[in-house]
Amino acid sequence: MTEKTTCRNLVLVLGDQLTPGLSSLVRSDPERDRVLMVEVMDEASYVRHHRKKIAFLFSAMRHFAEDLREAGWTVDYVTLDAAGNSGSFRGEVARAVKRLGPARVVVTEPGEWRVLDDMKDWARALRVPVDILTDTRFLCDPASFRAWASGRKQLRMEYFYREMRRRTGLLMEGDKPAGGKWNFDTDNRKPAKPDLFLPSPKRFAPDRITQEVLDLVGRSFPDNIGTLEPFWFAVTRSEAEEAFAHFLETALAGFGTYQDAMLRGEKFLFHSVLSAYLNAGLLDPLDLCRKVEAAYREGRAPLNAAEGFIRQILGWREYVRGIYWLKMPGYVMENALGATAPLPAFYWTGETDMLCLSEAVGQTIDEAYAHHIQRLMITGNFALLAGVDPAEVHEWYLAVYADAYEWVELPNTLGMSQFADGGLLGSKPYMSSGNYINKMSDYCGACSYDVRQRTGDKACPFNALYWDFLDRNADVLSSNPRLAQPYSSWKRMDTEKQGAMRRHAGEIRRKLAANERV
Ligand code: FAD
Ligand code: DLZ
Ligand code: SF4
């Protein structure tokens, strides 16, 4: 029998589809269909990914292929360095179609628009029917989100989230939210003290497969950002589940309270560090939410923590995906504030005198991870205030985090963080002077800049940039009712002070553009 007659359908499984219950696998038959998984240069280089991100995904893919084989599937797995690897999804599917002659290609829809767009042409180009199936791993599909969004002037996450709570029954008492409130954020957002006991995420030693991948990535991507070792990510479903169980036991209870805290040298605080696993398909979002709800109901976690965690997954994660599919492909080009400055070079090196930024970028280089408030209020806030082109900011976030795929990264960066969509995601830009960073962290006390000064060599750069940002963008922002207070403070400031602030901010922006140290 030739190879061709043994394969009915070819089931393509992408690198972020590492889920046994994936729609393409559920619809297929291990006896008659064949799985194709491919490491391809196009995916590994469409942005200059962090080396740990590539290593995580390749190792998780290889482990998943092993699990599928154990479950009885025949898997064709093409490694990055395999002879003849064409370097693209399209090229690898074409080679497999030629080799195996399947009746159909079956694939679960990809998470990124550019891949789906390409995929839609495969049937014509490869002369084989291609079935693109819905990704059932999400709790709200793009069509349902579109229906929810239709006719609404503002697409606020909070209302979407309430709808999702009702739909799933999570943290509900009949038709009322548990504890009488939908959102317990007022109990959250406390700064942390350096002597607070802090948990740490579960770490796993690299096995033979991971070690091979680390060697391959080290050889193939010598100039990409990121420390490759120590490498401790979970790379299988069972490890990821262990990491989640460890979070439930050691960190969930403090999750809400310290959600916005930042501490020097503390990279994870009470965060779960599960996003890379969730987004690759190693964990199931609804299962996590149910287990967190159970922890609350059994008295193992307070309501503010359980609600806060569930909101991130049931609310934010689903909401940003809905926005992505609603607004693409035009969304990626939006630039409501007309920002054009280049991304400062220190985003790739961490070499800056601003301690908050050197901490956030430094741990990003080491871990391919920074927690939400570092992404939003340190790296994101600074890029916003400095007027960096949102497309460059987007490319950086997509590259440097192990959890980054465009469907989740783009709305967070372009919408939430850079206000480049003009307020679709947030009713005002997430921006602050050094004051907020000082309140929420212990960075400023050890920084060579003085957070209380607004101008002069020692002044915290966030301060002048903050006022200069408001001034430069007054045309777009000054009528925003949520910015009435800062604009009225700016107007009340005497013109000499305003001038000094503009000059100082201009000097910082000049230095950044000239790649001088700030
Ligand atoms: P936790 O704080 O423990 O939260 C639990 C889970 O909730 C996360 O694992 C994640 O799945 C989900 N979650 C929390 N906040 C968000 C959010 N705003 N959007 C979507 N899911 C959320 N998240 C990504 O998964 N990939 C990205 O590429 C990404 N890029 C971001 C870029 C910017 C500029 C900002 C401000 C945020 C970005 N986020 C992204 C959201 C968030 O910062 C990360 O999900 C979170 O930091 C991951 O760490 P964690 O697992 O410890 O999260
Ligand atoms: C992110 C990524 C990388 C680095 N490499 C691969 C790869 O070699 N093979 C693969 O199947 N997927 C990879 N991915 C994830 C894809 O980019 C992702 O599946 C698409 O962007 C669709 O979301
Ligand atoms: Fe960051 Fe300014 Fe504080 Fe330094 S003083 S850590 S630059 S906010």
pLDDT score for 449: 98
The ligand that comes nearest to the alpha carbon of residue 269 is 1
How many other C-beta atoms lie within 10 A of the C-beta of residue 342?
A: 12
**Ordered per-residue pLDDT tens for the chain, 518 residues:** 445 556 899 999 999 999 999 999 999 999 999 999 999 999 999 999 999 999 999 999 999 999 999 999 999 999 999 999 999 999 999 999 999 999 999 999 999 999 999 999 999 999 999 999 999 999 999 999 999 999 898 899 999 999 999 999 999 999 999 999 999 987 777 787 777 778 899 999 999 999 999 999 999 999 999 999 999 999 999 999 999 999 999 999 988 788 888 999 989 999 999 999 999 999 999 999 999 999 999 999 999 999 999 999 999 999 999 999 999 999 999 999 999 999 999 999 999 999 999 999 999 999 999 999 999 999 999 999 999 999 999 999 999 999 999 999 999 999 999 999 999 988 899 999 999 999 999 999 999 999 999 999 999 999 999 999 999 999 999 999 999 999 999 999 999 999 999 999 999 999 999 999 99
Q: Which residue type does 360 have?
A: A
pLDDT score for 468: 98
Nearest CA to ligand 2 atom 14: 15
pLDDT score for 1: 41
Note whether 129 and 22 are same-domain residues: yes
What value, to the nearest 5°, has the Cα angle with vertex 356 and ends 350 and 357? 30
Answer whether 409 contacts ligand 1 (Cβ < 6 A): yes
Note whether 293 and 155 are same-domain residues: yes
Structure tokens of 26?
Answer: 């559920």
Please say which residue of 86, 102, 133 terminates a domain: 133
Is residue 214 a part of any domain in this protein? no
Note whether 321 and 172 are same-domain residues: yes
Specify whether the CB–CB gap between 89 and 40 falls below 8 A: yes
The H or E element spanning position 106 is: strand 104-108
Structure tokens of 379?
Answer: 């790296």
DSSP state of 459: B
Structure tokens of 263?
Answer: 């501490």
Nearest CA to ligand 1 atom 43: 372
pLDDT score for 180: 96
Specify whether the CB–CB gap between 411 and 404 falls below 8 A: no
Ligand 1: distance of its center to the CA of 263 in Å? 18
The ligand that comes nearest to the alpha carbon of residue 315 is 1
Ligand 3: distance of its center to the CA of 127 in Å? 58
Note whether 126 and 165 are same-domain residues: no
Q: What CATH number does the domain containing 63 carry?
A: 3.40.50.620
Q: Which residue type does 79 have?
A: T
Answer whether 418 contacts ligand 1 (Cβ < 6 A): no
Closest CA to 67 of 41, 35, 32, 99: 35
Which residues, including other chains, have CB under 8 Å from residue 232's CB and lie 6 or more apart? 203, 204, 205, 206
* CA 460 – CA 417 distance, rounded (Å): 21
* CA 213 – CA 49 distance, rounded (Å): 15
- By DSSP bridging, strand 176-177 and strand 172-173 are antiparallel
Provide Rg for the chain, Cα atoms: 24
Note whether 300 and 350 are same-domain residues: no
The string of DSSP codes covering 156-190 is -HHHHHHHHHHHH-TTEETTEEGGG-S--GGG---
115 CA closest ligand 2 atom index: 22
The ligand that comes nearest to the alpha carbon of residue 434 is 3
Number of domains into which the chain is organized: 3
The set of long-range contacts for 290-293, using a CB threshold of 8 Å and a minimum separation of 24, is 290/170, 291/244, 291/248, 292/248, 292/252, 293/170, 293/171
Answer whether 40 contacts ligand 2 (Cβ < 6 A): yes
Nearest CA to ligand 1 atom 37: 412
Note whether 435 and 396 are same-domain residues: yes
354 CA closest ligand 3 atom index: 7
Strand order in the sheet with 34-38: 74-78, 34-38, 9-12, 104-108, 130-133
By most ligand atoms within 8 Å of CB, the mutation choice from 11, 22, 35, 43 for ligand 2 is: 43
Ligand 2: distance of its center to the CA of 16 in Å? 6
HSE-CB for 299 with a 13 A CA cutoff: 0
Nearest CA to ligand 1 atom 42: 372
Ligand 1: distance of its center to the CA of 103 in Å? 40
Answer whether 462 contacts ligand 3 (Cβ < 6 A): yes
pLDDT score for 2: 46
First to last CA, the chain: 68
Ligand 3: distance of its center to the CA of 434 in Å? 6
* CA 441 – CA 369 distance, rounded (Å): 18
Note whether 383 and 509 are same-domain residues: yes
The ligand that comes nearest to the alpha carbon of residue 381 is 1
Is residue 361 a part of any domain in this protein? yes
The H or E element spanning position 410 is: helix 406-410
Note whether 36 and 167 are same-domain residues: no
Please say which residue of 293, 327, 361 terminates a domain: 327
Answer whether 111 contacts ligand 2 (Cβ < 6 A): yes
Note whether 124 and 147 are same-domain residues: no
CA distances from 65 to 6, 44, 125, 225, 478 (A): 19, 18, 27, 27, 54
Domain interval for residue 157: 142-201+251-327
Answer whether 508 contacts ligand 3 (Cβ < 6 A): no
Ligand 1: distance of its center to the CA of 370 in Å? 9
What value, to the nearest 5°, has the Cα angle with vertex 489 and ends 484 and 495? 130
Nearest CA to ligand 3 atom 3: 444
Q: What CATH number does the domain containing 368 carry?
A: 1.10.579.10
Is residue 227 a part of any domain in this protein? no
pLDDT score for 186: 78
Nearest CA to ligand 3 atom 1: 356
CA distances from 261 to 98, 194, 216, 249, 324 (A): 55, 11, 37, 20, 28
Q: What CATH number does the domain containing 155 carry?
A: 1.25.40.80
Q: Is 12 left (phi over 0), alpha (psi -120 to 50) or beta?
A: beta
Is residue 164 a part of any domain in this protein? yes
Specify whether the CB–CB gap between 330 and 323 falls below 8 A: no
Structure tokens of 474?
Answer: 């007054």
Facing residues of 105 across strands? 10, 130
| Whole-structure pTM value | 0.97
Closest CA to 24 of 87, 82, 93, 78: 93
The H or E element spanning position 130 is: strand 130-133
80 CA closest ligand 2 atom index: 8
Answer whether 281 contacts ligand 2 (Cβ < 6 A): no
Please say which residue of 327, 358, 386 terminates a domain: 327
* CA 267 – CA 309 distance, rounded (Å): 18
The ligand that comes nearest to the alpha carbon of residue 77 is 2
Closest CA to 278 of 461, 387, 155, 139: 139
Note whether 169 and 46 are same-domain residues: no
* CA 366 – CA 225 distance, rounded (Å): 9
By most ligand atoms within 8 Å of CB, the mutation choice from 247, 309, 312, 418 for ligand 1 is: 312
451 CA closest ligand 3 atom index: 5
Which residues, including other chains, have CB under 8 Å from residue 336's CB and lie 6 or more apart? 419, 420, 421, 422, 423, 476
pLDDT score for 35: 98
